Structure 1
Amino acid sequence: MDTMLHLRLITPPNKTDEVVRLIEKTVGTTHLVVMAGAARNPVGDVVLCDVAREAGDELIGVLRASGLDETGSIAVENIDLSLSKRAEKAEAEAPGEGADAVLWEHLAEATHEESTLSITYIAFITLATMIAACGVVLDNAILIVGAMAVGPEFGPLAGFSTAIVQRHPRLALRSLTALLVGFAVAMAVTVGFSLLMDSLGYFTEAKLEAERPNTAFVYAPDAFSFIVAVLAGIAGTLSLTSAKSGALVGVAISVTTVPAAANAAVALSYGDTKQTVGSTEQLLLNLLGIILAGTLTLLFQKWLWSKPR
């Protein structure tokens, strides 16, 4: 039983009966508890219930439509274990599969946090780009994979896709700002890092220009670059919306965004226009592919759950 949600609501006394009716009308709810006068800040009643994940978005939507998020509080938690025949019955009655359900409010909140330009975000994307710089110069695929795992850029990519689908201009602007500023700072710092490593004798132009069978793909965009980016975008988006996948798995499968940015920065430090342009094209192609795939995946999920069951 891993697809149930627990709701803790604080309601003004004059709205409690309305909230209880909304819960009782929603298919897939159970374990309804009302504690009159239990809340102190804000003052009101506490209402608890469990709801099948596939019915959760509908219930949260009607509760927000009633204004409860403004006059009281709505808190939602995942239930890791629920030993209850009533819970099993509620989950069976709810339409669809819990693992496939999309909690749009949760998605918006998660992508909001992950797409905010912060010192931590800048630090991670910069460190990831510097690690990738070592990977491209040494032609080391392990370092490239490591940089992909450290890079946080899938957060704002997912945020931008969510903003398009949900028509949320502020989230779109926040995500775009995080992407542009993040990559600009990371690449600028990596240029300086490359020059430092060159002065110490660890980076050389000969290594960058040599045959690199493991990492040459980062500055040679082709059709497969776009195809892989699209597949990664779908997988990353599903990792955000599915109950069966950890949050932001897409961080580890961000394809060649960070490595391409790193190669462009290193090539720029040596004045290699060809690799700089090729890497930049690879970066933009991957960003476009992931955003397109994420947006289409969310639109499909939204359409699928809007159909009558």
Structure 2
Amino acid sequence: MRLVQVFVPQDELDLVLETATAMGLDYAVTEETSRGEFEALVSVPVPPAAVEPFLSSLRTAGLDEDSYTVVTATETVVSNRTDELTGQFAGTRISREELQARAADLAPAASTYFILLVVSTAIATAGLLLDSAATIIGAMVVAPLMGPALAASVGVVVDDNGLATRGVGLQVAGLVVSVATAAAIGWTLRGTVLLPPGFDITTVPQITERITPNVLALFLALGSGVAGVVSLTRNVGSVLVGVAIAVALVPPAATAGLGIAWGHPMVVVTAGTLALVNLLSINLTALILLWVSGYRPDRSDRIQRAYGQLRSRIVVLLVAIGLLSVVLGGVTYGTYQTAAVEHDVKTELEAMSDDPAFGDLQFRESDVAYELVDVYTGGQPSVTVLVERPPGEREPSGFVDEVRERLEAATGVDLEMVVELVDTQRSG
């Protein structure tokens, strides 16, 4: 339930009471004795779904816009009359006015926002370098990224340009700050005793996950945007949803920063693309879902303008996501190709170990050097195979070429082949 309190200006008490009566709402009137411009305070208990119709009716009736209308959430209401009201005003979403106020509250002051963002990025960067998923998730609890993302979308659908501009500005600045923070930390730590000599960030699994993004990664961003709107409009689980949104944005941004520190352009491009696609996808789903949920400006003459802004932003977001998704698609295809070569090599070596044509030779291990960039630059996969043979046994003539031909036939690509033969004795 909500308690709507209207500070009634002079000579407008009848207007407020008639509006409440027409909607079948109960009310209590408190006479104002402060000798101010208000003659009374009217308190009206209503279900959440009735707040927006009641406030709209007051505006339509001509309530002075300079008056105060305060909406507060009630902890407990003890009355048999609430069931009737709840049945009369069905629905679960909050009012437009509450939505707007909550979105503004979720976007903190700039100083608070950037302090928390720097701290969360620093923790996430450490988690990436340590390959610690728990540390990365812990950092997301601190990240304040949910508010700006939702504030930007709410500002568009309710035609609040100030809120929309602030939300977009905080998101863009936040992404830049995250990348810069991670780059500064990476540059500071590189070459110190805190990291092993010759440390390569591309070999860390948590970082590899962000530099080889799959198109399926979009589901995290799209789902986070939907969950963010649901949590905002229904006031549930905002902390956990904020973590999901932060996971989609901070780790890839921090990875891009590490790519700058280590001088890896490919890391910057892939991780940066993932961060941008996630950011745009969250905003896209939030915009669409808020509009579909029925949120509009408070004045009918502004609805068309809000719809025009919404439509133009959706088009821009779709085009941007489509262009950036080309990179994600390329990474997805390249990652598939490299994984397919490794799988085919392993499968064929197992078949060759069982092939009588190779006698007692056993193909035990293989190392496939085939990177994502090789798929698009025409680089050949380099395969190193370890072959065990009984002592004194000689390999067949042309053995290396035969192994290469078998593996090339299995993988469908040309290979650079190295075969290491090891004389092996095994004790029973």
Query: What TM-score, normalized by structure 1, do the two folds share?
Result: 0.87
Q: Does 1:57 align with 2:57?
A: no
Match of 2:28 among 33, 37, 40: 33
Question: C-alpha distance in 1, partners of 2:238/2:233?
Answer: 8
1:81 is matched with 76
Unmatched 5+ residue regions in structure 1? 305-309
Match of 1:7 among 1, 4, 26: 4
Q: Matched residue of 1:102: which SS?
A: coil
8 Å CA contact 2:152, 2:164 repeated in 1: yes
Deviation at 1:256, TM superposition (A): 2.1
Q: Matched residue of 2:77: which SS?
A: coil
Question: C-alpha distance in 1, partners of 2:22/2:118?
Answer: 50
Unmatched 5+ residue regions in structure 2? 297-428
Question: C-alpha distance in 2, partners of 1:69/1:264?
Answer: 52
1:307 is matched with none
Match of 1:209 among 202, 207, 230: 202
Question: C-alpha distance in 1, partners of 2:34/2:153?
Answer: 38
Give matches, 1:189-228, under 5 Å.
Answer: 189-198=181-190, 200-203=192-195, 206-212=199-205, 214-228=206-220
8 Å CA contact 2:9, 2:64 repeated in 1: no
Alignment CA distance shift 1:43-1:195 (3 Å) = same
Q: Does 1:21 align with 2:13?
A: no
8 Å CA contact 1:160, 1:175 repeated in 2: yes
Q: Matched residue of 1:206: which SS?
A: coil
Deviation at 1:42, TM superposition (A): 5.0
Question: C-alpha distance in 1, partners of 2:58/2:214?
Answer: 48
Alignment CA distance shift 1:64-1:138 (3 Å) = farther
Mean alpha-carbon deviation: is it higher for 268-277 or for 219-228?
A: 219-228
Mean alpha-carbon deviation: is it higher for 33-42 or for 167-176?
A: 33-42
Question: C-alpha distance in 2, partners of 1:41/1:146?
Answer: 51
1:300 is matched with 292
Question: C-alpha distance in 1, partners of 2:63/2:238?
Answer: 27
Q: Matched residue of 2:6: which SS?
A: strand
Q: Matched residue of 2:136: which SS?
A: helix
Give matches, 1:254-265, under 5 Å.
Answer: 254=245, 255-265=247-257
Structure with larger Rg: 2
Q: Counterpart of 1:80 in structure 2: which amino acid?
A: E
Q: Matched residue of 2:12: which SS?
A: helix
2:371 is matched with none
Q: Counterpart of 1:250 in structure 2: which amino acid?
A: V
Deviation at 1:68, TM superposition (A): 4.5
Alignment CA distance shift 1:232-1:192 (3 Å) = same
Spell out, residue by residue over 1:24-68, the C-alpha distance to the aligned partner (whole angstroms, 9 max, x if none): 2225x33x1111224555543111110111111111223345565
Number of equivalenced pairs: 294
Mean alpha-carbon deviation: is it higher for 57-66 or for 13-22?
A: 57-66
Match of 2:271 among 257, 276, 279: 279
Question: C-alpha distance in 2, partners of 1:60/1:133?
Answer: 47
Q: CA RMSD in A?
A: 2.2
Alignment CA distance shift 1:118-1:64 (3 Å) = farther
Q: Counterpart of 1:260 in structure 2: which amino acid?
A: P
1:165 is matched with 157
Q: Counterpart of 1:173 in structure 2: which amino acid?
A: T
Spell out, residue by residue over 1:160-217, the C-alpha distance to the aligned partner (whole angstroms, 9 max, x if none): 11122223322221111111122222322332222223354324662512141x4422
Question: C-alpha distance in 2, partners of 1:201/1:40?
Answer: 72
Q: Matched residue of 1:10: which SS?
A: strand
Spell out, residue by residue over 1:134-168, the C-alpha distance to the aligned partner (whole angstroms, 9 max, x if none): 11111111112112221111111111111222233
Determine what percentage of the aligned residue pairs are the same residue: 23
Deviation at 1:93, TM superposition (A): 1.9
Mean alpha-carbon deviation: is it higher for 39-48 or for 271-280?
A: 39-48
